[in-house]
Chain A
Amino acid sequence: MSIEAKQQTQASVTVSTPKSESMLGKRIGYGVLYIVLAVIAVFQVYPLIWLFFFSLKDNQEVFSNSPFALPTNPKWENYTTVWTEGNISLYFFNSVWITVAAVVLTVLLASFVTFAITRMKWKLNKLVLGLFMVGLMIPVHSTLIPLFDFFLKVNLVDHPLSVVLSYVAFNLPITIMILMGFYYTLPREVEEAAVIDGCSIHRIFFQITLPMTAPVLSTTVIINMIYNWNEFIFINTFISSDKYKTLTVGIQNFIGQYMTEWGAIGATLMISIIPILIAFFFFSNRIVEGIAAGSVKG
């Protein structure tokens, strides 16, 4: 933030130098840049606005009017129809609980591991950390057939546990990596004092360390939420009953059945992305931070 502010003051300094002949050129240059950046922004956002518009239309309007036209008579009932008549509400709540269960497990287990690796003294800690980090590089698809076979053997195919456990396993590496950066910067004095006071290790973890890592925990929670909410291949492969399907697979099937109803398809897609958009609206800084932290250090 401070760098930005500093740059802005510098910008105003350069702009206000009176002798500058190229000022006009510079202004035009900046004007062009802003237009380009704005065009990119429109490219990124307009498809979603268009989606919202056609979610409020019926087929007659879609096929007879220009696709750029606003909905003349917004059909909000498209939303109530798909919510009540399709299985969309069921898929939605499955998405919610599967996401929540996987996120809680992932963040808790990852915190345990990070605490043990950064705070406790044992010989194999580097090796174990290495195992988690190499996990980042494994393509999901290369594990899919044996995973399916494994869940088949332990009777977990078409059981939500198969999906939750897979989400946890495949998100542990990235979560541990993000946590690790924060744990290393965290001062150890509080924990050391607690040990001297005779505090048990579990109390130190739950009552001192976990609360101190709250900021990075919220980052990992949000990142995991987005990953799990959007996940497709595991749920598509392991789950076949409607009662366990989540939104990603659910909308895929639903749209397969109602291929021609633009309004219904639009409303379904909107329902699946609204929670993410709301989360983004409130936590955009955390999301940006988490995505940056989760990628660059790899």
Chain B
Amino acid sequence: MDKVMSNKLVIALYVLPALLLIMVLIYIPIVLTGYYGLMKWDGIGEMTFIGLDNYIKLLTDGKFWGSAYHSFLLAIFSALSLVGYLIISLVLAGKIKGANFLRKIYLIPMLLSSVAIAQLWLKIYHPSNGLVNSLLMSMGVDNPPAWLAEPKYVLGAIFVPIIWQYAGFYILIYYAALKNIPESLIEAARIDGANAFQIAYKIKVPLIAGVIKVTIVLAIVGSLKYFDLIYVMTGGGPNGSSEVMASYMYQKAFGTYDFGYGSAVGFFLLLICLVVTWIIRKLTANGEEIQY
């Protein structure tokens, strides 16, 4: 038995192809991003070593910090919207007929590509014939704004399709976690006279704290690296007012061929994601995991 199951050659044969792929296509590039950040490089020609210049430039680059600010705004909005998803899930996981059907309906936008979602919402926000402005005009608003062309509205306007895309995902996760709580615990609380709100707030939410923690990380880190939808809908515009870190990196590298500086932004993005993950884990660590 042991001899067959510890055959080194077979293990190597089974593990190495996949391991090689993630090494070459994930881990080496991660290291190289940091390294390329030390170079002046247009992506095709020779690299010139310039030390920490790109990283120092990054620290004082107002455009980068503008994009970082937008990314963090999105992250905060996303984290706050989790409260709404949690409430919806608490309702759904209660005595709602058709809950299973509803949560599947909610999930549909999550399955579509960001490009399709972006193109669809470009039409929804169309200044004269889109859904939003037609609705506003029918309600008597005379000059509804061109949402995606106005610096003060554009980020908010982009956040709506993001909610549309991800709501079903988080509701699905919370719903599954809530359904896993043993009915006996809820029943015991009910017998002790707890009402529905107390049960939700004092029992159900603490019991799924671990899952909530994971979703906070997912929402925040996911927002920090958000790209596709913004790239297609506005390309970061108008005038940088919807630029986020990933779109800024992409624009620097593949737009202006400043691969060295783009790499520095990419490396910074990686660091921010890892640090934020670590901070959230620390902040939300409460020692014991609940078992039932």
Contacts and interface: CB of A to CB of B under 8 A. Distances in A.
A144 interface: yes
A166 B29 CA distance: 12
Contacts of A230: 111-116
A266 B120 CA distance: 8
Given A44-B106, A150-B29, A265-B123, A128 B15 contact: yes
Given A44-B164, A47-B120, A298-B218, A251 B30 contact: no
Nearest to B97: A8
Nearest to B115: A248
Interface in B205-241: 211, 214-215, 217-218, 221, 224-225, 227-228, 232
B144 interface: no
Contact of B131 (A33, A50, A252, A287): A50
Determine the main DSSP class of B at the interface with A. Answer: helix
A282 interface: no
Contacts of A202: 10
B120 A51 contact: yes
B179 A142 contact: no
Contacts of B274: 137
A295 B33 contact: no
Nearest to A297: B214
A145 B107 contact: no
Nearest to B245: A141
A147 B36 CA distance: 12
A232 interface: yes
Interface in A138-192: 138-150, 165-166, 168-170, 172-173, 176, 192
A276 B113 CA distance: 10
Given A44-B105, A44-B168, A45-B108, A141 B227 contact: yes
B185 interface: no
Given A122-B8, A284-B104, A295 B214 contact: yes
B43 interface: yes
Interface of B: 1-2, 4-8, 10-11, 13-15, 17-19, 21-22, 24-30, 32-33, 36, 43, 88, 91-92, 95-97, 99-100, 102-116, 119-121, 123-124, 128-131, 134, 138, 164, 167-169, 172-173, 176-177, 179, 183, 211, 214-215, 217-218, 221, 224-225, 227-228, 232, 246, 249-250, 253-254, 259, 262-263, 266-267, 269-270, 273-274, 277
Given A117-B15, A139-B224, A262-B129, 14 more contacts: A37-B88, A37-B102, A47-B164, A112-B18, A120-B5, A139-B269, A139-B270, A142-B29, A143-B26, A148-B43, A172-B18, A202-B10, A247-B113, A262-B123
Top 6 A-B pairs, shortest CB-CB distance: A230-B113, A146-B29, A146-B32, A143-B29, A169-B25, A142-B270
17 contacts: A44-B108, A44-B167, A45-B105, A47-B121, A68-B131, A109-B21, A112-B15, A131-B27, A139-B246, A143-B29, A146-B36, A149-B32, A172-B18, A229-B113, A230-B113, A272-B116, A288-B107
